Structure 1
Amino acid sequence: MLKHLRAVVGRILGPIAAFLLRIGLTPDVVTIVGTLGAMAGSLGLIARGELFAGTMVITFFVLFDVLDGTMARQAGTTGPWGAFLDSVLDRFADGALFAALTIYLAGQDENVAAVAALACLVLGSIVPYARAKAESIGFTATVGIAERGDRLLLTLVATGLVGLGLPPVLLTVVLVVLAVLSLVTAVHRMLYVRRQALAAQRVDPAAGEGHA
């Protein structure tokens, strides 16, 4: 879902990206500013119960995640470093959001929702780690139900709507569903890599013997 939105937003932000490059800003700076802004919106607003304001701040800074890529393409500086930095900082932003939701929901005695938010926090780190580890040992693990962008979009929409007055159960349902989808994705990736490892071992018995 978000992939298509990113392409559209990227075209809209093209002139802004060109302007920022002209005044000397780099894609890395925009990536870092976007992450810090998103974390501030989460920990400074959502954790304190300012759900709608926090959602608006995070949504604004999420645009930086598209803007930095547009800048890199215009400058011809796309490469592994930018992709690495963007991926690592995404974990900071996502972690701050779900940590903030956990803090807020626990304070409201919304225990089921708080546990689901905590599960999203943990599993949101395991899912990309499974892919990265698989690729580091020569396999692939791109399978899964909901991508990171889709999880983020659903969480922000639910959080913003609850901030506007909708029942908190909406956020509870969304977080529980996302936690389940993340768990399914993590297990799916593990099984997917296991099948590849077993296939490789049949070809080369020495393959797949190591344990980290």
Structure 2
Amino acid sequence: MNKRFRDKLQQAIYLVINPLVKGLIKLGLTPNAVTLIGFLLNIGVVIIFVKGVEVGNRGDLSYVGWAGALILFAGLFDMLDGQVARLGNMGSRFGALFDSVLDRYSEMVLFFGICYYLIGHHYFLSSIFAFIALIGSMMVSYTRARAEGLGIECKGGLMQRPERIVIISVSAIACGVTAHFIGGDYKLYVPGIPFHIFETISIFTFPLFIMAIMTNITAVGRLRDAKKAMDKQDQVTRVIRSATTTPVIALLLAVLPSLAWAGNSNEPVFPVPHTPNMLFYMQRTPNANTIIYDLNLKKDGSLNESEPVNIYWIRYTENNEKKGLNYIQRKFAYGLKIKQLEKDKYELRSVAYDKKKMYLMKAAEGGGYHIYTQIGQTMAILNRIYLQIEGGTFWFPNVVYIEMKGIDPATGKEIKEQFKP
């Protein structure tokens, strides 16, 4: 599905569910509580499928229809927990982890119920496809998580979690409704073919067959895309390493003045970005991709007071493409919490490390905006933040140290400070 279409559809859905979200916030429900409710509803789906085997008969597909309705309702909570976190300003790194873990549990217990029902009513072949669909669904999620843990964005493919939930729930509801009108044991035969080519349960099981194929195609496609991105990163790394050990250094310094060589021997060599309104930039060990913090100006040249800082990537490993931060990066990693203190003065804090205060304000001389922060004993103009990361995970990287570089306004000299977060 086209990303822009997905975003527009998501925003339209948010307009519908936001009143409900605000109601949940007033009731005192936290994002984690909403996530837990969604998981418990999926356990309810399993109970319906189990009851459909133990109490119902093969031709009674009403259990499938009711299970589909509950799956759709439980899927709504996948969107509600995120909106509760956003509108209630209750987002947290643990909340994101908790949501991801319970999503996986929800999907596994859902497929457990489906497989139990199909095997219990002797739809053995369909149960195999359901199990293959489960494998594909888990690998779609795992491939993304593992790639992002290695610093690679990996969101492509047709069978992401919302699509899977919609397909399963809608097909189950359609199966239950159709069975009510034509019967659960309806079979369609074609003259000359010794077996039926359609039966009522096929409305539910055929989409599972499609999902079994498409989820695994999506997982393999994400793996391929991640490999391409990693190959580009490795190529950049090899070029940089070879340049630092051969006479090509002189040539690079002559033709690539944008490269700056770090003084710390443990720090990789990264390109130095140059953008017209750049306040400062951030770089990290995993790759050369750089986060840029620009002054956000309106068309008339005045500061956008509602959003004074524009944050985006320059992805050097992907043909220097400029790209905005995704939601997780903006809310939990590289975004800023901004508070206006007075006219032309703002307090800024990192969403990931809010102990260090920064200030966006005009210089005493010249009138230009700069970011000021404490570097050592000096209130300096911030130029660069560097994170030395060694191991850890996507959500909990092992940050060995943070280095901040800036300019002393009084002397014009560069100063820097390293500290353990």
State the TM bucket, normalised to the shorter chain.
Answer: 0.7 to 0.9
Identity %: 28
For structure 2, the 5+ residue unaligned runs are: 53-62, 185-199, 242-285, 287-421
Structure 1 pair 69–139 and aligned structure 2 pair: CA distance change class (3 A):
closer
Equivalent of 2:226, from 184, 189, 193? Answer: 193
Q: Of the candidates 141, 161, 165, which is equivalent to residue 152 of structure 1?
A: 165
- Verify: 1:35 aligned to 2:29, yes or no: no
The one-letter amino acid paired with 1:180 is: I
Compare the two structures and name the one with the higher helix fraction: 1
Corresponding position of 1:129:
142
- After alignment, is 118-127 or 50-59 more displaced? 50-59
Q: Per the alignment, do residues 196 and 82 of structure 1 end up closer, same or farther by CA in structure 2, a change over 3 Å counting?
A: same
Counterpart of 1:77 in 2: which secondary structure?
Answer: coil
- 1:106/1:29 Cα in 2 relative to 1: closer, same or farther (>3 Å)? same
After superposition, the Cα gap between the structure-2 partners of 1:154 and 1:46, relative to the gap in structure 1 and judged at 3 Å, is same
- Runs of 4+ off more than 4 Å: 1-6
Which residue does the alignment assign to 2:12?
8
Contact 2:35/2:77 (<8 A) preserved: yes
Superposed, 1:104-123 pairs within 5 Å as 104-123=117-136
Unaligned runs of 5+ in 1: 208-212
TM-aligned CA distance change 1:173 to 1:74, over 3 Å: same
Taking a change above 3 Å as real, the CA distance of residues 197 and 48 of structure 1, as seen in their structure-2 partners, is same
Question: Residue 58 of structure 1: which of 47, 71, 78 is its match?
Answer: 71
The residue that corresponds to 1:176 in the other structure is 209
| Aligned residue number for residue 204 of structure 1 | 237
Q: Distance in 2 between matches of 1:67 and 1:33?
A: 11
TM-score computed with the length of structure 2 as normaliser: 0.45
Aligned to 1:210: none
CA contact (8 A) 1:95 1:121 kept: yes
Q: Structure 1 pair 20/197, CA: closer, same or farther in 2 (3 Å)?
A: closer
**What is the Cα-based RMSD across aligned positions, in Å?**
2.3
The 1-side partners of 2:48 and 2:147 are apart by: 36
Deviation for aligned residue 1:116: 0.8
Measured in 2, the distance between the counterparts of 1:162 and 1:127 equals 26
State TM-score, norm by structure 1: 0.86
Which entry has the higher C-alpha Rg, 1 or 2?
A: 2
- Looking at secondary structure, tell me which structure has more strand per residue: 2
Task: Look up the equivalent residue of 1:173 and give its one-letter code.
Answer: F
1:92 is aligned to 2:92: no
Structure 2 distance, partners of 1:46, 1:8, is 32
Match of 1:69 among 82, 87, 93: 82
**Residue equivalent to 2:51:** 48
2:403 aligned residue: none
